[in-house]
Amino acid sequence: MPRLLPKLLALVAVFAAFAIGIAWYGATVPPYVGDLTRLGGYSEDDFGWTEPQARFDPPLYHAHRYDAPVDVLIFGDSMSLHRSGEQTDPGSYWPNYLAARTGWRVAALHRHDWTLDDVLQHAVYRQAPPRVLIVQFAERAIVGLERITAGYGNGSGCDGAATPVFDPLPLRPLGRQPLPLPPPRPSARGVDFSLGAHHLKRRVLTQLLPSAWQPVRRFALDRAGLFSSRRDRELLVFADDLRKLDMTPDQLARQRCALREIQDAVQASGKTVLLVLVVPDKLSTYRAHLPALPPDYPEVPALLAAAGGLQLVRVDRVFDAAVKAGVRDLFLPNDTHPGVAGHRLIADAVMHSLRELGIVVDD
């Protein structure tokens, strides 16, 4: 027993240290708001946004619901509609701005809940096709796009058919403006042991695991002022943003071919025009201010557009210009999703593409 005593005391000391750490973090760490701060164990005091966002209340489009005809149907991901656990307010997403400016009926479905064939075979779609179908995905999804492109890209559709001429959709602006959305303010609370344990776990793993194994990567920016957070010279991103570095030109060409075949299949009826909307990754958006990125970092939207024919919304160009102009919180500093400035610009880019296709005709 005397020989075991030191080991028992050491074990008790370790448990006590962990208990104290959990209690300390549970009392002092603000609740997580962003997905990147939560997954990486970073503090909202350092990376939380501090300038107001905006939202429509109630939202102006239908999310996760398609039970009536619409003018615009979005088949997308968390860049277009809210899911449980995400901080973006449903009234802040870009489809709200599209609906406000046009008065169109807009709905959005999540690609993790639906397949593209589910959408195209849905009774409402078949009886009253939308004038516009937008296939949206985050740029990093290009490495695993098969849930969208399954069954396409195996034929000779890479050259594609000519785009039919579509009648314009009348504009009926709603005259609605978003309301200010202030930064989150944590309410008074006691010790949150669950939060404390999570934060301690993430901090320990951050110290022990190589950066390549971390779910969230941290980069130094070469300028300040692009975020309203306290640490505005640091960038948090999903590690998955780096996966496209391993893509080969052939893989990217196959995805472009599959998307072109989808475009031709959707437009064959002459009733629905298709847009492909790739929301740039946070890492791609700020690449001009990231000296650590390799010089051959792939610009996926530009590569998809290079061959021509794909009706691609060039959000990447709009975001590049916004970063160059110093727009703050284009992406939320604590999150992988755009801020309200980004969502407004996505809606602008969609409107521009629809104008080029003759769907939007200004008076």
pLDDT digits over 38-80, tens only?
888 898 999 999 999 999 999 999 999 999 999 999 999 999 9
Q: Does residue 363 form part of some domain?
A: no
Q: Domain residues for 141? A: 31-172+193-356
Q: Does residue 150 form part of some domain?
A: yes
Q: How far is CA 330 from CA 157, 218, 219, 279, 326, in A?
A: 36, 17, 17, 12, 9
Q: Does residue 254 form part of some domain?
A: yes
Q: Does residue 1 form part of some domain?
A: no
pLDDT tens, residue by residue, 97-146: 999 999 999 999 999 999 999 999 999 999 999 999 999 999 999 998 88
The pTM of the full predicted model, rounded to 2 decimals, is 0.90
Q: Does residue 311 form part of some domain?
A: yes
What is the total count of domains within the chain? Answer: 1
Residues in the chain: 363
Bridge-partner residues for 62, per DSSP? 107
Assess whether pLDDT exceeds 90 at residue 151.
Answer: no
Q: What pLDDT does residue 204 have?
A: 61
DSSP of 303-321: HHHHTS---EE-HHHHHHH
pLDDT tens, residue by residue, 240-264: 999 999 888 888 989 999 999 999 9
Q: Does residue 177 form part of some domain?
A: no
Looking at per-residue confidence, does 196 or 311 come out higher?
311
Range with the largest mean pLDDT of 34-38, 297-301, 335-339:
335-339
Q: How far is CA 155 from CA 147, 150, 303, in A?
A: 18, 12, 21
Q: Does residue 6 form part of some domain?
A: no
Q: Does residue 275 form part of some domain?
A: yes
Q: How far is CA 312 from CA 26, 71, 202, 288, in A?
A: 46, 19, 38, 22
Instruction: State mean pLDDT over 85-89.
Output: 77
* Residue 203 banded pLDDT, cuts 50, 70, 90: low
Distance from C-alpha of 225 to C-alpha of 232, rounded to nearest angstrom: 6
H or E stretch covering 285: helix 282-285
Mean pLDDT of the chain: 87
Which of 116, 59, 44 lies closest to 276, judged by CA?
Answer: 116
Instruction: State mean pLDDT over 271-276.
Output: 97
Q: What pLDDT does residue 26 have?
A: 46
